[in-house]
Amino acid sequence: MTRHTAHRSGGAGYRAGLPVSRREPDALNYRWILFDADDTLFHFDAYQGLRRMFERHAVDFTQAHYAQYQEINKPLWVHYQNGAITAAELQTTRFEGWAQQLGVSAAELNEAFLLAMAEICTLLPGAQALIDALAAAQVRMGVITNGFTALQLARLERTGLRGHFDPLVISEQVGVAKPDVRIFEHALAGMGDPPRDQVLMVGDNPHSDIVGGLAAGLHTCWFNPNGHEVPDGIAPHHQVRSLPELQALLLG
């Protein structure tokens, strides 16, 4: 894929999907790489996780059930990212209907779902090689995720990546979620407040990872494996369609 780069300008004068020429960074130009977790480093297949969880309750969880679940879950995530509800409220509210049907608590279903998601966790192609190469090059790495503490810790331990990331910033612990600039500032404080142009935020969600990273003054890279158009008004510094492409961008 041709790399798309853009000057950060708050979106002014930038047309979605059109590259703006500027010099590519030298190898190892960034001293820090901050990663999103779900769908950036890890596969995140909520449908399969829910099927696995509901099998333990003798429920054949179908695509129709999943569509109904997402009708509840997606708006809750918007409310959570906007600070209107807590992580605990999100996690239990989405399972209240099923809890009543099955005669169990919503908290119990949520815990079982997180366990199932940890059990099916796999890395995206190229993730292990990228992390190993960055570590060998002495590039510092951290994670900023809107995920939940128990699940993210379990996935990092399961994949052997936990020791590579410091800081590990999880919205449930911090109390605010991306794109709120405060979660990025929390991470930067834990990093010793490095110069912002030496920090690259990498993530698959332009509205949380890229908008939030830009608001914090960071350089940003949109991980865009499906080749979507850049949303209007959002100007990531870089785009890549695979993690091997990101490795080539960072390390040459």
Phi, psi (degrees; rounded to nearest 5) at 18: -100, 125
Catalytic residue among 36, 38, 180, 209: 36
36 tagged catalytic: yes
Phi, psi (degrees; rounded to nearest 5) at 222: -85, 115
Q: Using an 8 Å Cβ cutoff, are 32 and 199 in contact? A: yes
Catalytic center residues: 36
